[in-house]
Amino acid sequence: MDYTQLGRSGLTVSRLVLGTMNFGPHTDEPTSHAIMDAALDAGVNFFDTANVYGWGAAKGRTEEIIGNWFAKDASRRDKVVLATKAYGHMEAAERPWPNHDRLSALNIRRSAEASLKRLQTDHIDLYQFHHIDRRTPFEEIWQAIDVLIQQGKILYAGSSNFPGYTIAQANEAAGRRGLLGLVSEQCLYNLAERRAEMEVIPAAQAYGLGIIPWSPLHGGLLGGVLKGRSGAARRATGRVPEALADASVRARVQEYEDLLDRHGLAPAEVALAWLLTRPEVTGPIIGPRTPEQLTGALRALELDLDPELIASLEELFPGPGPAPEAFAW
């Protein structure tokens, strides 16, 4: 297992991040525990979750599954860099009661305490803002985070789904308080969706943040979905059929799968391996529903993509180009 530094934090983390959003809604607790066992045995030490995972009336269930896994063996907690998130409301009703969502100081405190209880731990290594809160000033957000850090309940803060300008705003506000600020950004980034290269990644690099891409297979579109490879259909989200209805998208995915067939490579593994070639990427988030899917993801660490293949992939799925030139007409 390869390891790297998580942005400007002092944390050393694995190059793959175990995403747990399927634990509960799609993967039962015993299987979820088996996946975590296998991940830890393989050297994956970075686990990512969120308070809302479990979804619907079962929000929080994913954190509970992880907490029960920790409770079975107390030594596991010290081996894991644990990340969770706050923003969305935890109510079963569609509309939350006021102050039960977003990033007010009240909700940050309430959400952190509830996550600690569900996770059965005394601290969270990386506490992430799941989305932007355009109503709450960063001065208030950082005040709440500073209190949690002083209490020893969280160690570092990160963002998720932030645009570049908000990463800058957040870190400038933190700097005025003498705080470290954000150490990571979790964003949509993969071979087929490269818009993060325009502003998000340059901002993250300028402020020393690690990039943690979510949806590295673009909802399953890059997982070998056209040729029915093992597990490809299960990885695909509901958006994939809609995307493939576009003839140009389908043709590009077909070219992608044909290219990798000629090289004898699995599309899902190559999509992960391509992200691992990007120097700005800390590690992509994998979301296995089964132990077999975890095994397949781990194989990406063993791939050494040929420069010519990388060039072919990037010709097929071109990025926007370097910023600010990418914005030119």
As annotated, the active-site residues are 53
Torsion sign (Cα): 59, 60, 64, 65: positive
- Residues 77 and 294: their CA atoms lie apart, in Å, by 20
Q: Nearest to residue 49, comparing CAs of 135, 115, 109?
A: 115
Which residues contact residue 14 at a Cβ distance below 8 angstroms, ignoring those fewer than 6 apart? 1, 2, 3, 43, 44, 45, 46, 283
Which tokens sit at 187?
């964003």
Structure tokens at 109: 């405190």
Q: What angle do CA 88, 59, 126 make, to 5 degrees?
A: 60
Q: Are strands 3-5 and 12-14 parallel, antiparallel or unpaired?
A: antiparallel
Question: Would you tell me how many other CB atoms lie within 10 Å of the CB of residue 167?
Answer: 24
8 A C-beta contact, residue 107 and residue 100 = yes
Backbone angles phi, psi at 5, to 5 degrees: -90, 140
